[in-house]
Amino acid sequence: MVPSVTHPALRELIVGTKEITTAKFGFNLLLTNNRIQYKKNPSETTVKQLAEQTHEFLTRYESLYQSELKQIFSGDYRA
Amino acid sequence: MLNKIDEVAKKINSGKALLLAGSETALSQLPKGNWIGGTTSYFIDADGGTFSDSSIFVNELPEFAKDFKVSEYTTQTLPSIGAEAPEKGFTVLILPAGSAVHTAYAEGAPRYEGFVIKPVVGWVSGVPLPEVGRTEPKVFNGKTGESSSSHAVAMHVALPPDKIADIEIVNVFKPGHGDKITFPVSGFVQEQCSVNGKPMNFAHYLSSVGADLRLPLTANYNGSVINVSIQATEEATGLVRLYAPVFAGVEYTFAEPVNDYVAAFESALPENRKDASFACNCILNYLYANLGGHSAGSVPSMVTFGEIAHQLLNQTLVRLLIHDV
């Protein structure tokens, strides 16, 4: 199950302090656009909004993103 | 696959849901039904790249995709495309090249509700190259039988619970190691840029370095490479026109040259080449790689004037894959 939307790893992913390696185009597009938006407006409101979108994406595509989820949430993610 | 017009008409009359690409003359002859279409006369079939005004490239929706809806969009309604997409499925979008909806989607899609979360795949329709500027690219709404050069047309497709859609790109270009270019504003037309942090006129920069304009600008999106192709430079006005917008805040470099496109496609395709439910490839790849009569990575596809994989791309092979959950 994907950890909660308030998990700190999502914030780290958005602000760019956590990096993950993936060849999956959809996630790379989402991640890069998130960082562009955060750079334009580096507020906690932006982080919250982008974290919600990222969480929704990962929840929808959980079955395709096992490797990425393990990288993002480490031991907090179990398939 | 390429089909004759009467063969496509039979498929339509049998109720199949179809994504069609062909000339305006060919698409205009089809009966109403469950289809959307966009104009192009260039294709890559089993025998390789080909030009045809009388054949139609057909993508049939998979049998399990029984729940679909055709919608048209204007620049005003296009931002709601994600909201209208099914909760679980995908959307196929066709935009007429050079139209206001083309520009609106290319520049605005990353800010639309549901961007990436609800997959949008598709293409930009065009015309035979000698007719560019004289004939308008069209999209067709098969439900109404009408065509448009100003509206976008979409097919929203819901998937059953045991299926999930994913969009993959195959890009033969890799970022080069040359100058790092950024732009102060996003858009299809650029005047100013910064090269390695130094502001300058973009057209003059391209001229001064003798840039190979067949190569796209590339941006690294966390390992996925996104291309932006150059349409024209205007030395007199200092403007550069692009086939997709560049975005402020993104760093671009020119791609490394590709010596053998076909070999590059072959090696860029993933090893597990699951058949795509939909694929399109770029007219610039067709032209610059001289694909007429040659195969390109064994992926049959329509040849388009811009590719949509969530957002507008250039010089990229786009594939829609549907996985079992």
What residues does each domain of chain A span?
8-76
Closest CA to B148 of B162, B158, B138: B138
The chain-wide mean pLDDT, for chain A, equals: 94
**CB-based contact (8 Å) between B288 and chain A?**
no
**CB-based contact (8 Å) between B221 and chain A?**
yes
> Does B306 fall in a domain?
yes
Burial of B190 by CB count in 10 Å (0-12 exposed, 13-18 middle, 19+ buried)? buried
* Domain match, B215 and B112 both: no
Q: How confident is the model at residue A62 (pLDDT cuts 50, 70, 90)?
A: very high
List, for residues B30-67, the tens digit of each pLDDT value.
Answer: 999 999 999 999 998 877 889 999 999 999 999 999 99
pLDDT the model gives residue B269: 78
CA distance B229 to B218: 9
CA distance B323 to B126: 31
> Does B273 fall in a domain?
yes
pLDDT the model gives residue B273: 62
Check whether B71 has a pLDDT greater than 60.
Answer: yes
List, for residues B270-310, the tens digit of each pLDDT value.
Answer: 766 667 899 999 999 888 877 777 665 567 889 999 999 99
* Domain match, B217 and B267 both: no
Spatial contact of B232 and B240, defined as CB atoms under 8 Å apart: yes
List, for residues B216-245, the tens digit of each pLDDT value.
Answer: 999 999 999 999 999 999 988 999 999 999
pLDDT the model gives residue B296: 58
A26, A33, A36 member nearest B167 (Cβ):
A26
Closest CA to A52 of A74, A37, A66: A37
List, for residues B140-170, the tens digit of each pLDDT value.
Answer: 999 999 999 999 999 999 999 999 999 999 9
CA distance B87 to B117: 9
Task: Choose the final residue of a domain: B228, B254, B280.
Answer: B254
Average pLDDT (B172-185) is 96
CA distance B152 to B74: 6
pLDDT the model gives residue B260: 85
pLDDT the model gives residue B272: 61
CA distance B197 to B179: 10
Strands B224-228 and B217-221 come out as antiparallel
pLDDT the model gives residue B135: 95
- Please name the residues in contact with B1: beta carbons below 8 A apart, sequence gap of 6 or more: B45, B46, B57, B58, B300
> Does B73 fall in a domain?
yes
Task: Choose the final residue of a domain: B230, B254, B278.
Answer: B254
Q: What is the domain range of residue B225? A: 181-254
CA distance A66 to B204: 47
CA distance B100 to B214: 25
* pTM for this predicted structure: 0.95
* Number of separate domains in chain B: 2
List, for residues B193-219, the tens digit of each pLDDT value.
Answer: 999 999 999 999 999 999 999 999 999
**CB-based contact (8 Å) between B167 and chain A?**
yes
pLDDT the model gives residue B75: 98
A30, A36, A53 member nearest B247 (Cβ):
A36
> Does B175 fall in a domain?
no
What is the token pair recorded at B131?
Answer: 């007719």
**CB-based contact (8 Å) between B132 and chain A?**
no
List, for residues B266-279, the tens digit of each pLDDT value.
Answer: 788 776 666 789 99
Measured from the Cβ of residue B306, the count of other Cβ atoms closer than 10 Å reads 26
